[in-house]
Amino acid sequence: MPFEPLQQEPRIQQRWMEAAAFKAPGAADLKPGDRTFYMLVMLPYPSGRIHMGHVRNYTLGDVVARFRRMRGDKVMNPLGWDSFGMPAENAAIKHGIHPAVWTKANIQEMKGQIQKMGISYDWDREIATCLPEYYRWNQWFFLKMWERGDVFRAMRNVNWCEALGTVLANEQVVDGKDERTGHPVVQKQLEQYFFAITKYADELLAGHDQLDWPENVKAMQRHWIGKSVGARLTFDLADGNQVQVFTTRLDTLFGVTFMALSTEHPFIVEAAKTDPGLQAFCDQVAAMSREDRLMSDIKLGYRSKLEAIHPFTGEKVPIFAANYVLMDYGTGAVMGVPAHDERDHAFAGKYGLPIPQVIESMDPWEPGILVNSGAFTGMTSEAAVEAMVEKLGGRAEKAVTFKLKDWGLSRQRYWGTPIPTIHCPDCGVVPEKAENLPVLLPEDVEFKGVGASPLTTSRSFLDCACPKCGKPSRRETDTMDTFVDSSWYWMRYLDPKNTEAPFARPEAEAWSPVDLYIGGIEHATMHLIYARYFYKIMRDLGLAPGDEPFTKLICQGMVLKDGFKMSKSKGNIVDPDEVIARYGADALRLFMIFAAPIEKEIDWTGFEGIEGATRFLRRATRMVEDHVPCKDPVPAKDQLTAEEKTLLVKVHQTLHKVTDDLSHRYQFNTLVSSLMEMANALADLPADAPHRGPVMQHALEVFTLMLSPAAPHLAEALWESLGHEGFCMHAAWPVAETSWLTADEVTVVVQVNGKVRGRIQVPAQATEEERRAAALACPEAQAHLAGKEIVKVVVPPGGKLVSVVVK
């Protein structure tokens, strides 16, 4: 049987499919004591073709899934399609293809490509988020969350293009213009729906402790959630109004010499009406794009006619509108303490405001001891905060602020889940009745890319009756952010055909949480925060057990070409399909896991790497070809030659290491190198070894089983050649025998003053004392010991080394 992947792989895939070899059992089919393993990869967007990033992601996941299956675990390894979103709608506008048609064709194409890779997905559990059977549950969740008060409506800015009469996504806006037509884009307030994710901010932060996730992902989430502990403080204004500020440094209160409000703060907006200069300043700030605001670190302000009164000194403090104060963080107002805040310092310098010092410390921006602070002088910053809150009474309270914003889920687009609400002239916004779900996307729509969302062109969709009073009403035309789709999809895999609920509780209990989730680092914040949030909602709805959905997370590195991200526009794409057509799936899979550690980038500089993988697979094939299947048992240890024993030790040591790499360390590149080392050892067994038949048979069997997760097609072929029936992928993972983990004789390294001076062979069962004596007697060491006084001899646990210290 020569190595002919192009002929063999499709045949083996066919056999797997016919045998339903990848099927995952439902909760009812699991027996007590069954170990389960849920292996999840991030579901793809059906853009048209798979790319190397997909190949890497799915290969890594498949290696784990296949290994676990062989270990005897019940394995859940599903895939689906994140199939709502803008590209489909853009294709409709550009080419006149309905998004559903475009999406379906892409799914078919990509599914075929993925199947050619031999990934062991249970395709019976496949889902597509754009199908009503799926998105009806998005609507169901929305209604449940509405009931619980987790949904609210509020005004929020959108990117509005007057010329097109449409809302644009952030990615479509470049330099304040529509990237397609160049028409200007402005901010416009629209009333939209929000999920109150900030309710869970503290729990989302605390949950990290129980997660086996990369440190950088946790750090990114921590930063994104952005918890700040401080105080809210109310200032009286000279005109009798009150304004509230948030500060993390209440202790610096005596250093306040001005107050800065966002140009969008209600008081500033009001004051600008009678102050043309202020109005002009606000307009100027509003006209700056987000990038410009970030680029220029120049602090700009305009002194309004408003004044605040310092709560302790009673002094009047000027109020500025300032470009560095954000309306959507804290209260949109800050107390300016130029001596102890870098930004306030810059601002005060520019506008000639006094800079009184009120804290003594090494670094002016850090806490310390209070000075010039009335009764609080001499206190530590920490104590002063407590004392001031006390003294200020109802005027101040300790407070926490988050950077995390509530999740705006409204999109003014067609290709998404319709938000299940109705606008009644009498009752206002009313949720649709649960029994009327799904609210289906209508077919009678036009895609023009101009004007309001296509949904507003469908009479059949718009016209409805109010669920409360029955009056003729208008259906909501906003659709949901596609992040909603991907925030619970992995739970739907567990029960994909359920028509009564998103999934049944017993299925969730059987499989959740996910044991290992592999995907790209680009989802570190948005997707992985939304998914954690949704899981807590599912928990609180009584649907899901536990608190966190993904126990372990691995973010795989990107696949680059000559140092750059592969992209259509750069024209540097290496198409996985073409690689498979030339070298086969096994070679590509093997290369993907061997090329670099999982979280590092792989640079595809050429085909040398994959040719190396092919060489190895061919070599493995040849070893089996040259071997005559042998049913004799391996003779007892004392009958074997030294070379035969050496080989068997290598076999079991490799097995031990590979098992560890796959079950705990998730280090797949060393899995491959271990197999290569073992292949080299196999080649070293003399052709005339007396027990070559049984020893080789055993070694090749273990080798083939270990190869199976990485190169499953070839493993099946080799398994058959070795005289086995049934699938290699269903054979039991072998167990390393302790008696074969150490050779009869082991090498002991002799160090003198930390330098390696010699190596000696000792019997494996030699005692520490014998090792020590043998080491001191070894001639190479003797040369360095002569005439010196031995201070100490250390034999560390394991006894692989003797360390001699001399003076």
Interface residues for RNA in 305-334 (CB under 7 A)? 323-327, 329-332, 334
Rule CB under 7 A: say whether 754 interacts with RNA.
yes
Applying CB under 7 A, which of residues 216, 241, 284, 460 lies at the interface with RNA?
Answer: 216
The beta strand positions in 604-675, using DSSP E, are none
CB 293 within 8 A of CB 323: yes
Site for RNA in 92-111 (CB under 7 A): none
- Which span (478-486, 700-708, 750-758, 764-772) binds RNA, by CB under 7 A? 750-758
Token reading at 226: 């952005």
C-beta closer to RNA: residue 18 or 608: 608
Q: What is the DSSP letter of 369?
A: E
**Minimum distance of RNA from residue 682's CB (angstroms):** 11
Looking at beta carbons only, is 79 or 802 nearer to RNA?
A: 802
The type of residue at 57 is N
Give the binding range for RNA (CB under 7 A) out of 175-183, 242-250, 311-319, 368-376: 242-250
Binding of RNA by 299 (CB under 7 A): yes
Residues contacting RNA: total by CB under 7 A: 85
Cis ω for the linkage preceding 513 (within 30 of 0): yes
Q: At 532, which helix (H) or strand (E)?
A: helix 526-540
* Nearest residue to 697 (alpha-carbon basis) of 675, 722, 672: 722
β partners of residue 750 = 758, 802
Of 589, 134, 205, the residue nearest 404 (C-alpha)? 205
Quick one: tokens of 482? Answer: 């596609």
At its nearest, how many Å lie between RNA and the CB of residue 436?
A: 39
Near RNA in 252-281, by CB under 7 A: 262
Helical (H) or strand (E) element with 172: none
Residue with tokens 């990615």: 171
Answer whether 560's CB lies under 8 Å from 603's CB.
yes
Shortest spacing between CB 766 and RNA, in angstroms: 15
Positions in 391-430 near RNA (CB under 7 A): 401, 403
- What is the amino acid identity at position 514? V
User: What is the three-class DSSP state of 342?
Assistant: helix
Q: Give least dist CB 794 to RNA, A.
A: 4
Distance CA 459, CA 592 (A): 51
Q: Contact with RNA (CB under 7 A): which of 284, 289, 313, 753?
A: 753
Whichever of 381 and 457 has its CB closer to RNA, that residue is 381
CA distance 769 to 754: 20
Q: Considering beta carbons, is residue 672 or 729 the nearer one to RNA?
A: 672
554 three-state secondary structure = strand
Which residue among 657, 698, 771, 772 contacts RNA (CB under 7 A)? 657
Tokens standing for 109? 């194409």
364 forms part of the interface with RNA (CB under 7 A): no
Question: In this chain, which of 756, 764, 777, 790 binds RNA, going by CB under 7 A?
Answer: 756
Nearer to RNA, 144 or 156 (CB): 156
Among 59, 247, 482, 486, binds RNA (CB under 7 A): 247
Which CB sits closer to RNA, 97 or 649?
649
CB of 85 to RNA, least distance (A): 20
Part in contact with RNA (CB under 7 A); list of ranges 10-18, 267-275, 509-517, 597-605: 597-605
- Residue 183: strand, helix, or coil: coil
* Interaction residues for RNA, span 39-98 (CB under 7 A): none
Among 124, 212, 611, 625, binds RNA (CB under 7 A): 611
Closest distance of CB 308 from RNA, Å:
15
Smaller CB separation from RNA, 59 or 331: 331
Minimum Å distance from CB 563 to RNA?
10
Give counts: helices (H), strands (E), the chain.
26, 32
CB of 295 to RNA, least distance (A): 8
In the list 48, 176, 230, 408, the residue contacting RNA (rule: CB under 7 A) is 230
* Alpha-carbon dihedral 774, 684, 618, 115, rounded to 10 degrees: -40
Out of 384, 595, 700, 715, the only residue in the binding site for RNA (CB under 7 A) is: 595
CA–CA separation, 241 and 238 (whole Å): 7
Q: Which strand (E) or helix (H) includes residue 84? A: none
Nearest to 429 by CA among 200, 194, 196: 194
Give, as ranges, the residues between 671 and 730 that touch RNA (CB under 7 A). Answer: 672-673, 676-677, 680, 683
The secondary structure element, H or E, covering residue 40 is: strand 36-41
Nearer CB in complex with RNA: 15/600:
600
Site string for RNA, 614-653 (x = CB under 7 A): -xx-xx----------------------------------
Cα–Cα distance, 678 to 657 (Å, whole number):
11
CB 215 → RNA: shortest distance, Å? Answer: 4
Residue closer to RNA (CB basis): 425 or 763 = 763
Q: Is residue 682 classed as helix, strand or coil in its secondary structure?
A: helix
Return d(Cα 192, Cα 406) in angstroms, integer: 12
Choice between 280 and 501, CB closer to RNA: 280
Please report how close the Cβ of residue 658 comes to RNA at its closest, in angstroms: 9
Is the Cβ–Cβ distance between 185 and 178 less than 8 Å?
A: yes
Decide whether 88 or 766 has the Cβ nearer to RNA. Answer: 766
Q: Which residues contact 319 (CB under 8 A, 6 or more apart)?
A: 237, 243, 258, 259, 260, 261, 267, 303, 304, 306, 307, 308
